[in-house]
Amino acid sequence: MQKINNDFVVVPLTFPTVDQTGTISSDIFSMKNYRHAEIVIQVGPIGKAAAVTLNKSAAVAAATVALAFSRYLSTGFVLEYDGASVDTPAAAGETVTGAGGGIGYVYQDFGGKLVCYAYNGTTYVDNEVLTFSGGKTAVANGIQKNEDIMVPRTASSNTFNLAAVASKQYVIPIDADDLLDGYDCAQVEIADCDTATHVAIFAILSEPRYMAEIPETAIYD
């Protein structure tokens, strides 16, 4: 059985747009008939880093009340290494810098394999020296791989920045209960990304409150 329209629905909020020289305000979507949403932001070329926030409202109209959130995920990668100067794993949040200029942030060091995020777009080189901000050094065993993985991150003060690096994806999970106080609608706001920027935003709504062959809309309340 197909899962779309049964287990989840996909709602476009902003189609790819060029030259975001002002705030991006997505369409407002309603969670009245759904218990969970994954808000997906996909970025192609991007002119500069830009802050992401969420707003909420009681209807599919102007959303002006800040929606609190602390969790999001961003595009990650795996980098294998050997020849470490010490056996101690790198700490979460350390940078790992390749001799050729590749930079990423450590989510977890498994000893010989790093799961990282916030890749700067410069390819790591096989056998190059890796320098960790905590002082450890190692040697790259291949280049970065598994660039489709999504790594958990923590938002600060209900916001995070889209990095000024192309071809990245971000996901913000929210529950209907997160909206509180009678609110059931949400909207994405992204600050000025500058010219030649391509951004698409959509929501994957799941845990429907009612089952039907064609599920309830999420763009009307």
Mean pLDDT by groups of 10 residues along the chain of 221 residues:
83 83 90 96 94 95 94 98 97 98 98 97 97 98 97 97 95 96 94 88 92 80 76
* Rounded CA separation 93/132 (Å): 10
Which residues is 34 bridged to in the sheet?
A: 208
Instruction: Produce one character per residue of 197-211: b if its CB has 16 or more CB atoms within 10 Å, e if not.
Output: bbbbbbbbbeebeee
Is 34 within 8 Å of 207 (Cβ atoms)? yes
pLDDT score at 1 = 53
pLDDT score at 5 = 80
Which residues is 199 bridged to in the sheet?
A: 17, 43
Could you count the other beta carbons within 10 Å of the beta carbon of residue 48? Answer: 15
pLDDT score at 18 = 67
| Owner of token pair 């880093």 | 49
Distance of CA 96 to the CA centre of its chain: 20
pLDDT score at 16 = 82
Q: Would you state the structure tokens that stand for residue 120, as one six-digit string? A: 């700067």
Predicted TM-score (pTM) of the model is 0.94
Is 143 within 8 Å of 124 (Cβ atoms)? yes
pLDDT score at 130 = 98
Distance of CA 2 to the CA centre of its chain: 26
Instruction: Produce one character per residue of 149-174: b if its CB has 16 or more CB atoms within 10 Å, e if not.
Output: bbbebebeeeebbbbbbeebbbbbeb
